[in-house]
Amino acid sequence: MYKILYIILISLIASNCKFNKVVKHHGVPFLEKKQKILIVDKSNKNDITKILGKPSTTSKFDNDVWIYIERRQTQSELKNLGQMKIFKNDVLVLEIDNYGILKKKDFYNIDDMKNVKIVEATTESGIKRNSFIYDFMSSMRQKINDPLGQRAKKRREINQR
């Protein structure tokens, strides 16, 4: 009796397990295929939005740079406790001129991303204790905290005693 119960229980557990990988998709699907349709110096903004849709991001410094992203993740093996692993990471950078015509197209895949060198140098803060900006901001803070100069008068009286 117990053997039959164990067999039924194990078969229920095994039948509910799926062996299909779960894939999470973000961005424009099939970006690599769609970007091949775009032709430099022929395609315009309308063609780009019709094929790819709205851009994922645009350049903050120049509105004529559009960036499209495609990213696919899946759960890794059991030994990594099911952490998400990226298996497709594509980025398309499009530069558009003032007339709305595509001038430059750069496509980067996950292998290109691995070859990107990241600089580890840091930039120091431009505000130092002896700088004009520091002195100005300190005086402004002092005026905000004591607009009538009452604290300074009290300090002078204490120092004179």
- Per-residue pLDDT tens over the stretch 40-52: 999 999 999 999 9
Query: Any bridge partners for residue 22, and if so which?
Result: none
pLDDT in tens, 88-128: 888 999 999 888 899 999 998 887 767 767 777 777 766 55
Write out the H or E segment, with its range, that includes residue 160: helix 150-160
Asked, for residue 49, whether it belongs to a domain, the answer is: yes
Report d(CA 88, CA 86) in Å as an integer: 6
Query: How far is it, in rounded angstroms, from Cα 106 to Cα 31?
Result: 12
Using CA atoms in the order 20, 26, 27, 33, what is the torsion angle rounded to 10 degrees?
A: -20
* Total domain count, the chain: 1
34: Cα within 13 Å, side-chain hemisphere: 19
Domain assignment present for 71? yes
pTM of the model: 0.58
Residue 91 is assigned to a structural domain of this protein: yes
| Bridge partners (DSSP) listed for residue 105 | 94
Q: Average per-residue pLDDT in the chain?
A: 78
Per-residue pLDDT, averaged over 47-58, amounts to: 90
79 located within any domain: yes
Q: In angstroms, what is the C-alpha Rg of the chain? A: 31
Structural domain of 41: 20-114
29 in a domain, yes or no?
yes
In a domain, 144, yes or no: no
Q: Which two tokens stand for residue 117?
A: 């060198």
C-alpha to C-alpha distances, 144 to 45, 108, 139, 141, 153, nearest whole angstrom? 51, 52, 9, 5, 16
Domain annotation covers residue 99: yes
Buried/exposed code over 8-27 (b: 16+ C-beta within 10 A; e: otherwise): eeeeeeeeeeeeeeeeeeeb
Q: Would 101 be classed as within a structural domain?
A: yes
